[in-house]
Chain A
Amino acid sequence: MDAKPLATKVVVDSSVVLHIVKHASEAAPYQACGQLLGLDNQDILEVTHGFNLPVSNSFYDSNDSATLRTKAINKYIGDMVEQLKEVKVDANTVGFYQCTHLGKFINHVVIDNLYAYQKENPEAVVLVYDLSKTVYASFSFKAYRLSPAFIAVKKSGKFSTKNLVEKELSYHDILEEVPVEIHNSHLVTLLLQNLSTQQPESSFTLNSTFNSLDITIDPYLEKTMESIFDSIDDFHYDQGNYNYYQRQLAREQSKISQWQQKRKAENHVRQQKGEAPLPLDNYGKLFKLPEEPSRLENLLISAQLDKYCTQIEEFGATVSSKLFATQKSLEA
């Protein structure tokens, strides 16, 4: 796990992509996920096969991060890989795929799961397929990997501010995006070529769709904004916790400083009497400082918020060009 991942690019076989898309649309509104198999070939991670994981309905309702790695699922994965090995498929686990809606995937479950995968195989990635985004905007298929900084902090187990600062981890650097390339087998390329030459006159070809000209922008923005609302509420909640901790801490600190003042005065008297001064720093036994709440939640929510905002920004970029185009055509 300490080894740095070598792969700088993920090459996904088109059959895997299609499998994921199919699984996602079948499982909707549940968010499907599954296992990815493939090879790590130097600096390229090849994903050649994937299979579904049975997902319980409570998967997204519960906050139990271990859901994906329950015994039953682990056994299922083991059996599946064994059987796939027999039909000569690459039996090397290279990560998992996760379907999502509007970029809502940065949460405990995914992060913990990814961490588990990366612990076994540093090259492991998560392939995120965004169903809603594909519908509203454009095809969204991305690969992510946990950053070394995050792994380091996670390993230490403490998401305290000190730790975050030392490891230079901010919400920007939880995930690293890995470029994805979709690879078609030669046979598929051939078939596609064939198809396009067979029907040259048809107005409907595989390459020409008018989806990208769609300018219904409101639903997408509305949904994203509603998600932002949720995240902000979560953020407020977390902030409230931290506020509480701060107040507790300040109270304890003032108690300690009072105690120290008293001790100092005492020491002063003792010094005049010629006795040895009492130690100043053994307040730890007397006072218990409150524990700092984990900053992980805050990090994740921040990252999620960031994700939403970027999403809107990206969407805005594409949509405004469309709008300008529409305006021109209307004027004409």
Chain B
Amino acid sequence: MSRFFAGGASSDSESESSSDEEILNSSSGSESESESGSDKSGSDEESDDSMFNNESESESESDEEGGAAKGPAYFLKNQFLRGGADSDEESDDEGKRVVKSAKDKLIDDIDASIKIIDNAKRINDWISISSEFDKMNKLVEKANKQYSEIPSQYIKTLAGLEDFLEEAVKAEKSAKKMNASNARALNTIKQRLKKNNRDYESKITAYRADPEAYEKAALANAPISAIPTAKRGASVETNDDLVDDQGFAVVGKAGKAVEEVDVFKTLATIIESRGKKNVDRYDQIKTLEGLITTTTSAYEIISILLALIPLRFDSISSSQFLSVESWRATSQDVTTLLATLEKNSAYSVIESAEEIDDLYLGPKSNAQGVKEIRGSIASLVERLDDELNRSLQNIDPHTTEYADRLRDQVDLYAILIRTQVYVEKYIKGNLYESEALSRLLSRRVDHIYYKSAKLIGLTEVKVWESIPAELDSKLTPRVTGTIVEGYSVSLLNSICSVLYKQTNTIYRTKAMLSHIYQYALNDQYFKARDMFLMSHLQSSIHSAESTIQVLYNRALAQVGLCAFRVGLIPETQTILQDLCSSSKQRELLGQGTGKFQQQSNIVEKQRLLPFHTHINSELLECVYLTASLLLEVPCIATAGSSSTDSKKKVISKSFRRLLENVERNVFNGPPENTRDHIMQAAMALLEGDWKAARELLTSIKIWKFINNPETIKAMLGEKVQEVALIAFFNSDVKYYSTISIATLASTFELTERRVKAIVSKVIANEDISAAIDEKTQSVVVRQGVELTKLQELALALSDKAFQLTERNERLMSGGYQLSDKPTGSSNPNNTNSGNNNANNANSNNSGNNAGNKQNQNRKPHQGRSNNHTHNNNHNNNRA
């Protein structure tokens, strides 16, 4: 049926669907007799109109269609046409059936092409002329081979085309108004025609000399073929007329039985052609779209949709993404599919169903009376999700287009939930045993894990509103009205509880990381951290897929941010250390490709996350630097006061580097960006000006992107005060003998209790040697307890000596065993070398670690001397 319709349609809309026709024609190389017969009969019947009239009409028509190639009008027209042609065929077929030879059919095809060329000539459409010309040549060649004759009309067309071409070239030279593709087509046809006409030169000249005589002669040869040529076009017009009158009526009543068969026939062809080249998928999509509106039976709709949706996905190449319209159409289709399935519980789409042998009969009912159709809604939904993701990746996130596109997410989410409900319905036994369900749930988690609790709640309510009221999920019950606090976490809990039971580790890992992310987002730091640690992911993550690794990094970053929000500065610093000091931070978070690989491949780009899921990297940096600042300042203060290097431990290298840069500047202007603010705050804090530091830190603009910026700022202010106090203690306290706690409290605007706590902590850490005198409420500093340089050196030496012993032991263990030396006596040189080291073990009894520095100094020496004496003894014994 489809071929037939398509044939009709194309003859109607020559200008733009010529390629369609070509494909269809080539795919149906050996068209059945009956088909062409009916074609023929149709044209025979309605050939009253004069050719002249007909041509002018078709011209205007093709013009108008060229304008609206893809619009709904075009679609409708096709629709009608199909119906019309259909009825036409039926009535005709019943009446007379003219049997025609293959030769006649061939000639008919050639005539059709000529007709198209003629039409295209009128509107200067060189593209269709070119394609039609190629087709015609092929057909003529075939005719020449099989029947060794060249149709006269072909020669006529060639001659006509030649003339027309000359004119066109002239016209083009005088006024260049042709568009590029048309001009290109013109050029190709010019060359081809020249080449082609050489073969038929004699005949063309004969025709030129006396066209009528030639034609007559030819007519005598082929009496039938010439006449229909003239009439061919007329049939098209009348087809259109027919449509207007009775297009729908026929389908409604008479078509029913036949129609159904045809639906499946079309379906079968389309399904067969899947994955093949040179298939026009748009055309197929249109066909199927048309089919849907004509059918009412659930089975048909389901089958068509199951074919249509993948077809839509196939219609784009792998590097592109679905356009907004086709995505919406697809999502509409999926919704329809779900709605149909929900309504018709007699059918179900299940992955495990058997392949249907006969599309016409449909699947057999199973024990429960449910007819199972093979297919996977989950996969379709997944694909839909992927497409949305890809389009989000490709749209510039700073446009309104992006925001508009984001709205589609809600639709998608609704589909996800609906599919989930549907899949749940068919699960026997435990929920977690279904792979399809876990795939859906995993997608659902992907959609919500990065959102705030409020947003999740709102989305859920909105989505459930759009879902029919009778549906509900066992796993994630319907929500309405207001959202209780902690809903998002409990939602994720229930979803993840299923995913955790999956045997496939990817689901579990993803669920775990998303879960952690959500916890961290909700400021539940300890829960997130505990989950992170219990998952033991850090030991295996390096071998995971890159998407999982990105998710891992994201979760890590979020936990770091969470720690900061909760006020756990050292934790923040340690968690973010690796991520923030890396130069590839953007890549690690899946938020961008490397700077220096401009030509990064497509695969890499596809891995990137869409913009709305990004973690604000500037905020991340700001948090990291602030945390580093609060930890580093006391350290730097300590290091600055003591004379030796021993205490200089660096917490954050990147922070130190930045600070050094700032210190090197001759003049520091007022802070501009986040980094400037933090660095100047650090400088102020090192000078003891904690108020300026607090001012600088809290004036950073980026804090507004964090939840509750005011509490964060207050927390920061407090931390700055504390850090200032610690820094003061570390660097300057040795100049005091006693300080009253009250003074400290007033200087740093802290409560006395807090001051005491901090001072006690510093004393307990042995950063300074002091004591708190409870009686006078003051800190008493002990003087002169610093180690002398000699003492420090002695300590360092003891370290070195220890290291030496270890190295010696390692050297010893590296030696090979004497007993199984493979070289034997032939190479005593090597055996001895092993021997030397084997003895080192006994000797390194790294003796008494007494405080006496002389002992310490002796240690390496003794160790070594023992080595050698032992060594010698041993070797002597052996000798």
| A232 at the B interface (CB under 8 A) | yes
| B150 at the A interface (CB under 8 A) | no
Q: A289 and B830: CB pair below 8 A?
A: yes
Type the 1/0 row for A136-151, where 1 means its CB is closer than 8 Å to any CB of B.
0000000000000000
| B750 at the A interface (CB under 8 A) | no
Q: For residue B815, which residues in chain A have a CB less than 8 angstroms away from its CB?
A: 246
Q: How far is the CA of A165 from the CA of B833 in the complex (A)?
A: 10
| A52 at the B interface (CB under 8 A) | no
Q: For residue B546, which residues in chain A have a CB less than 8 angstroms away from its CB?
A: none
Type the 1/0 row for A213-228, where 1 means its CB is closer than 8 Å to any CB of B.
0000010011011101
Q: How far is the CA of A228 from the CA of B861 in the complex (A)?
A: 10
Type the 1/0 row for A113-127, where 1 means its CB is closer than 8 Å to any CB of B.
000000000000000
Q: A222 and B789: CB pair below 8 A?
A: yes
| A75 at the B interface (CB under 8 A) | no
Q: How far is the CA of A316 from the CA of B868 in the complex (A)?
A: 25
Q: A313 and B858: CB pair below 8 A?
A: yes
| B600 at the A interface (CB under 8 A) | no
Q: For residue A288, which residues in chain B have a CB less than 8 angstroms away from its CB?
A: none
Task: With A170-B872, A225-B793, A302-B868 as known contacts, state yes or no: A161 contacts B811, CB within 8 Å.
Answer: no
Instruction: Output the nearest chain A residue to B793 by Cβ-Cβ distance.
Output: A225
Instruction: Output the nearest chain B residue to A281 by Cβ-Cβ distance.
Output: B826
| A79 at the B interface (CB under 8 A) | no
Q: How far is the CA of A312 from the CA of B865 in the complex (A)?
A: 16
| A172 at the B interface (CB under 8 A) | yes
Q: For residue B326, which residues in chain A have a CB less than 8 angstroms away from its CB?
A: none
Which residues, 289 to 332 on A, are CB-close (under 8 Å) to B?
289, 292, 302, 305-306, 308-309, 312-313, 316
Q: How many residues on chain A are close to B (CB under 8 Å)?
A: 42
In-complex Cβ contact of A256 among B823, B865, B869 (8 A):
B823
In-complex Cβ contact of A316 among B807, B828, B834, B854 (8 A):
B854
Type the 1/0 row for B815-828, where 1 means its CB is closer than 8 Å to any CB of A.
11000111110111
In-complex Cβ contact of A292 among B803, B829, B861, B864 (8 A):
B829
Q: B832 and A302: CB pair below 8 A?
A: no
Task: With A236-B807, A306-B864, A313-B854 as known contacts, state yes or no: A246 contacts B824, CB within 8 Å.
Answer: no
Q: How far is the CA of A162 from the CA of B833 in the complex (A)?
A: 7
Q: A160 and B822: CB pair below 8 A?
A: no
Instruction: Output the nearest chain B residue to A232 by Cβ-Cβ distance.
Output: B800
B861, chain A: closest CB distance, angstroms: 4
Q: B816 and A249: CB pair below 8 A?
A: yes
In-complex Cβ contact of B872 among A165, A306, A309 (8 A):
A165
In-complex Cβ contact of B824 among A281, A305, A308 (8 A):
A281
A311, chain B: closest CB distance, angstroms: 10
Name, among B804, B861, B869, B871, the residue most crowded by chain A CB atoms within 10 Å (CB to CB). Answer: B861
A145, chain B: closest CB distance, angstroms: 21
Instruction: Output the nearest chain A residue to B857 by Cβ-Cβ distance.
Output: A312
Q: For residue A245, which residues in chain B have a CB less than 8 angstroms away from its CB?
A: 833
Q: For residue A161, which residues in chain B have a CB less than 8 angstroms away from its CB?
A: 829, 832-833, 835-836
| B206 at the A interface (CB under 8 A) | no
| A242 at the B interface (CB under 8 A) | yes
Q: For residue B861, which residues in chain A have a CB less than 8 angstroms away from its CB?
A: 305-306, 308-309
Q: A171 and B868: CB pair below 8 A?
A: yes
| A250 at the B interface (CB under 8 A) | yes
Q: A243 and B872: CB pair below 8 A?
A: no
In-complex Cβ contact of B860 among A224, A232, A292 (8 A):
A232
In-complex Cβ contact of B864 among A165, A289, A302 (8 A):
A302
Q: B811 and A239: CB pair below 8 A?
A: yes
Type the 1/0 row for A3-23, where 1 means its CB is closer than 8 Å to any CB of B.
000000000000000000000
In-complex Cβ contact of B797 among A160, A170, A229, A316 (8 A):
A229
| A262 at the B interface (CB under 8 A) | no
**A–B Cβ pairs within 8 angstroms, 10 of them:** A161-B832, A165-B875, A170-B869, A218-B788, A225-B790, A232-B800, A253-B821, A256-B822, A289-B830, A305-B864
The 10 lowest CB-CB distance pairs between A and B, nearest first, are A309-B861, A257-B822, A246-B814, A170-B868, A165-B875, A162-B832, A225-B793, A161-B833, A161-B836, A161-B832
